[in-house]
Chain A
């Protein structure tokens, strides 16, 4: 059961603070970034302890503000570098590392690269950041890819003119490979071990060059990547397979802002969009039961297969790639109670889901069925 918490700022990003995998705890702290305010902020919230049983909801589930700090420019992306440090990408082109001091419950700026992304005579927004401590990689509207290290002052490496259009998002494929998506509908793979300034591979949809806004990699299978873009279609790609996506699914009626595989249960995928909906996708491989006995509860959306997966061991092919709907069952559920303004961001960890909207509301769901 979800209820909205109104926070007096339009929320552009929300992220759970990571929990150590050894402990079986559910996450209890998340950070939000705001946008379109005269004074933007990053805020740290807590949803309290989980001593009580899952049946209780209500006041104790309400997020409480722990601390906040001002942020110059819109928060266009936000990631946790480690348990204490948060990296943000700003619309002024700055990349900032904040430190959350847990004893005093305050935030301070640990380091900032002020004009990381820029034009010759202007500032330009930094649109995406991804980190794998201590390395931080950012991308921006200026088409640059910049590599930083958290403990070093200067910039480690800049790939100038990596793209002639805006790079909207970036994700790690392997520790030395990243994948970026841009405004002309291309995915580009970059091998950071190489010194050249050109991508090692370019993939794109045939047909209309729809801008892509988000990308996420499958947690276990590094060649599977999901993207979402302006037309609200969810595409799942196999980067080994060359140029085309393996499956295309109609998801939303407007731009898709974020797509996330569930980190520990990758049969589940979450997407959120400008049309105000948040979808939970669940796929399951073909079981021995005949389909007429399976009886799905929710509507299954049409999934069109762009091409058949390569021949190989069928068991190893992820259910996401087989666009053939007779082989896998795909269920989709709306997670928000009613239509809201755009859902800008979501994050899911364990059984907890948090999302932020342009209606200045945050929704937290602590019993996501995964």
Chain B
């Protein structure tokens, strides 16, 4: 039995008193819970009369987050289409761009949620939106880091630059503050002025820091030299250029020289008179204690980490990251307990992909993030095959969980189908089970579901769906619809059933209903024998109506001799033959008459065989006997006329 990773969360069901026993039943995405009458002790009170539906994932019902699911579905399908035969190296830019697509989708959702959160008036919705926004922020942060470390996999040198971009992207309040400061009457006098400058320096945005300092410098002519020196130092800081000709070692040498120069400036007290500039100097030297003094400006340990790396080890290698990450986190949080987000980021810095995925799965209530991220990482060939107890690999497991959750949604189930398609081991089985449970309210929906099943050769499901729709149509007396469904499923048995209905209608009313259908059966007639008979029988009626008696007679006979007609109908057919036999002109030839007699004999002998022991009302018997006698008489007369006619020589 697996160990539980975290304590399960407790949810109180409103309306059920604590201490009462509850019964439950699992659903595809939720649990149904009800209060039982059982009481351990004391008098039985009235129980709660409701059934509660407890749902873990509310996100799929949020209209704004739905866009996330749809857009990411589109990206997912595009990703799966990337051909496997190209080497991974050349696909890296594609993967990076796909990762960026995912992130921009997240960010678009976030912005929309923020707008709605601002404009909504209900506090409860406001907090809910706020929560969703912060979750999306965290997701984007994690994804971005994973993109930098795993997908882009930048080597030393570029790695730091990417990490800098990452931190800058997620610390937007600096620009806000700077805007306020610059828009004020006297930026230099603003409270936040130095905060802004320091923040710029912490983020390595030295150009902007210098521009801010220039304003200060112009107001303090006395310290001009100091400012000039600082400006000089800031401008000379080397940044690695990945596309340039400089190698990493050369860059390292240059950087060390610069670092020593700054150190010298600090040591000979060049900035001693201005505490702000001295502070900046210490920062760009990478002094830990100074950095830690500015926790509010850094606000997160990973900002601290990146700043420290920037000013102490700009040529950090990916494999060295986790040392620094661990120590930075400990130093920054000192007594605080790390939050789940911190642990996830730390796991990422340690390049422990599985831990990242595991922690995210626990922390989030929706499989969207882990499923898509894992899928992308799997395409980059970064996940080792990791056998789970369920037999499939991690990527497939997460995708199946995500898609199964989507399938419970009344509308998003269509997206889920594509996810199942790309789970090679179990996807098909899941899909087969789920697709039959999609409620089919309209024909159009049934058609779409059928198309999905047909494209994947799920013939069982096709048959079952067509049967459901055909039965429904039959119940409402829509025989044409029922027939078109059974044609689609190539369901001969059902077509037979429908034909039986038609024939019963005919026997009851004496005319055919739905002539537009029967007259225009076309090749569908061949689907079932009964249907063929129906079509041919109708043709017989038409021929009779057009007074093409010879052909009608021939058709009628063939219906019986070729055994297309069911035995039960033969009596009716023979009765239909009566008017043809009674015509003045001889229609049936002698041979044909013999055949008719033969059929009649067959029919009566089988009836007689059935007769003993069966209780049939005397009246019915009489009618049957009369019919048979009439037929015999007509046949005999016809035979006589036919023999005479055929024997006569035309002169």
Q: Which residues of A contact B (CB under 8 A)?
A: 4, 6-10, 35-38, 74, 76, 91, 119-120, 122, 124-125, 127, 141-143, 161, 163-166, 182-184, 186, 188, 199, 202, 204, 206-209, 211, 230, 254-255, 274, 338-342, 358-361
B residues in contact with A183, CB < 8 Å = 443, 480-481, 484
B520 to A165, Cβ gap below 8 A?
no
Q: Give the dominant DSSP class at A's interface.
A: loop
Chain A nearest Cβ from B559, distance in angstroms: 23
A residues in contact with B411, CB < 8 Å = 9-10, 36-37
A164 to B514, Cβ gap below 8 A?
yes
A91 to B414, CA, bound (A): 19
Tell me which residues from 542 to 589 in chain B have a Cβ below 8 Å from any Cβ of chain A. Answer: none
Q: Out of B64, B74, B448, which one reaches A340, CB within 8 Å?
A: B74
B269 sits at the interface (CB 8 A): no
B481 to A208, Cβ gap below 8 A?
no
Q: Out of B63, B447, B451, B520, which one reaches A204, CB within 8 Å?
A: B520
B residues in contact with A4, CB < 8 Å = 71, 74
Contact with A along B397-429 (1 / 0, CB 8 A): 000000000000011001100000000000000
- A6 with B410: in contact, given A125-B442, A163-B480 (CB under 8 Å)? no
A206 to B522, Cβ gap below 8 A?
yes
A184 to B513, CA, bound (A): 16
A48 to B436, CA, bound (A): 43
Contact with A along B55-93 (1 / 0, CB 8 A): 000000001101100110110011000000000000000
- A255 with B447: in contact, given A6-B67, A122-B476, A184-B480 (CB under 8 Å)? yes
A165 to B415, CA, bound (A): 31
Closest to A257 in B: B444
A340 to B447, CA, bound (A): 18
Contact with A along B452-483 (1 / 0, CB 8 A): 00010000000000000000000010111101
A10 to B599, CA, bound (A): 61
A204 to B522, CA, bound (A): 10
A selection of 29 A-B contacts at a CB cut-off of 8 Å is A4-B71, A6-B70, A8-B67, A9-B63, A38-B410, A74-B441, A76-B442, A76-B444, A125-B444, A141-B478, A142-B478, A161-B514, A163-B516, A164-B514, A165-B479, A166-B478, A182-B480, A183-B484, A184-B484, A184-B520, A188-B516, A208-B522, A208-B523, A208-B524, A209-B521, A211-B484, A255-B451, A340-B74, A361-B70
A residues in contact with B442, CB < 8 Å = 74, 76, 91, 125, 141
B481 to A164, Cβ gap below 8 A?
yes
A124 to B476, Cβ gap below 8 A?
yes
Most interface-central of B63, B74, B479, B520 (chain A CB within 10 A)? B74
A residues in contact with B39, CB < 8 Å = none
A143 to B483, Cβ gap below 8 A?
no
B643 sits at the interface (CB 8 A): no
Q: Out of A37, A76, A164, which one reaches B410, CB within 8 Å?
A: A37
A341 to B414, Cβ gap below 8 A?
yes
B residues in contact with A211, CB < 8 Å = 484
Closest to B517 in A: A164
Chain B nearest Cβ from A46, distance in angstroms: 18
Contact with A along B502-531 (1 / 0, CB 8 A): 000000000001101100111110000000
A125 to B478, CA, bound (A): 14
B residues in contact with A91, CB < 8 Å = 441-442
Excluding A164-B514, A182-B480, 12 further A-B contacts by CB distance (< 8 Å) are A9-B411, A37-B411, A38-B410, A125-B442, A164-B513, A165-B483, A183-B484, A184-B520, A211-B484, A254-B451, A341-B415, A358-B414
B481 to A165, Cβ gap below 8 A?
yes
Closest 10 CB pairs of A and B: A165-B480, A164-B480, A164-B514, A6-B67, A183-B484, A8-B63, A8-B66, A119-B476, A165-B481, A164-B517
A359 to B415, Cβ gap below 8 A?
yes
A274 to B74, Cβ gap below 8 A?
no
Chain A nearest Cβ from B215, distance in angstroms: 35
A residues in contact with B66, CB < 8 Å = 6, 8, 360
B64 to A8, Cβ gap below 8 A?
yes
B254 sits at the interface (CB 8 A): no
B residues in contact with A361, CB < 8 Å = 70
Residue tally, chain B, CB below 8 Å to A? 40
B residues in contact with A342, CB < 8 Å = 448
A184 to B478, CA, bound (A): 12
- A209 with B522: in contact, given A125-B442, A164-B517 (CB under 8 Å)? yes
A274 to B448, Cβ gap below 8 A?
yes
A230 to B485, CA, bound (A): 12
Chain A nearest Cβ from B449, distance in angstroms: 11
Chain A nearest Cβ from B505, distance in angstroms: 11
Contact with A along B428-450 (1 / 0, CB 8 A): 00000000000001111101100
A residues in contact with B483, CB < 8 Å = 165, 184
B451 to A36, Cβ gap below 8 A?
no
B33 sits at the interface (CB 8 A): no
A165 to B523, CA, bound (A): 17
A165 to B524, CA, bound (A): 15
B residues in contact with A206, CB < 8 Å = 522
Chain B nearest Cβ from A229, distance in angstroms: 11
A182 to B445, CA, bound (A): 16
A186 to B415, CA, bound (A): 33
Closest to B472 in A: A122
B487 sits at the interface (CB 8 A): yes
A residues in contact with B63, CB < 8 Å = 8-9
Chain A nearest Cβ from B119, distance in angstroms: 14
Chain B nearest Cβ from A204, distance in angstroms: 6
Chain B nearest Cβ from A358, distance in angstroms: 5
Chain B nearest Cβ from A68, distance in angstroms: 11
A165 to B476, Cβ gap below 8 A?
no
A310 to B27, CA, bound (A): 63
Chain A nearest Cβ from B116, distance in angstroms: 12
A165 to B414, Cβ gap below 8 A?
no
Q: Out of A38, A142, A360, which one reaches B70, CB within 8 Å?
A: A360
- A165 with B441: in contact, given A142-B476, A207-B523 (CB under 8 Å)? no
Closest to B481 in A: A165
A206 to B521, CA, bound (A): 10
Closest to B521 in A: A209
- A164 with B523: in contact, given A8-B64, A359-B73 (CB under 8 Å)? no
Closest to B447 in A: A255
Chain B nearest Cβ from A320, distance in angstroms: 25
- A6 with B441: in contact, given A143-B480, A209-B522 (CB under 8 Å)? no
A residues in contact with B415, CB < 8 Å = 341, 359
B478 to A209, Cβ gap below 8 A?
no
B residues in contact with A38, CB < 8 Å = 410
A8 to B483, CA, bound (A): 36
A359 to B78, CA, bound (A): 14
Chain A nearest Cβ from B528, distance in angstroms: 15
B residues in contact with A142, CB < 8 Å = 476, 478
Closest to A253 in B: B455
Chain B nearest Cβ from A211, distance in angstroms: 6
A168 to B207, CA, bound (A): 67
Closest to B62 in A: A8
Closest to B66 in A: A8
Chain A nearest Cβ from B478, distance in angstroms: 6
B residues in contact with A209, CB < 8 Å = 484, 487, 520-524
B74 to A359, Cβ gap below 8 A?
yes
Q: Out of A122, A164, A202, A274, which one reaches B479, CB within 8 Å?
A: A164
Most interface-central of B73, B478, B487, B523 (chain A CB within 10 A)? B478
A residues in contact with B441, CB < 8 Å = 74, 91, 125
Tell me which residues from 614 to 642 in chain B have a Cβ below 8 Å from any Cβ of chain A. Answer: none
Chain B nearest Cβ from A165, distance in angstroms: 3
Closest to A90 in B: B442
A residues in contact with B74, CB < 8 Å = 4, 338, 340, 359
Closest to A118 in B: B476
A202 to B522, CA, bound (A): 14
A residues in contact with B70, CB < 8 Å = 6, 8, 359-361
A32 to B410, CA, bound (A): 19
- A165 with B478: in contact, given A36-B410, A37-B410 (CB under 8 Å)? yes
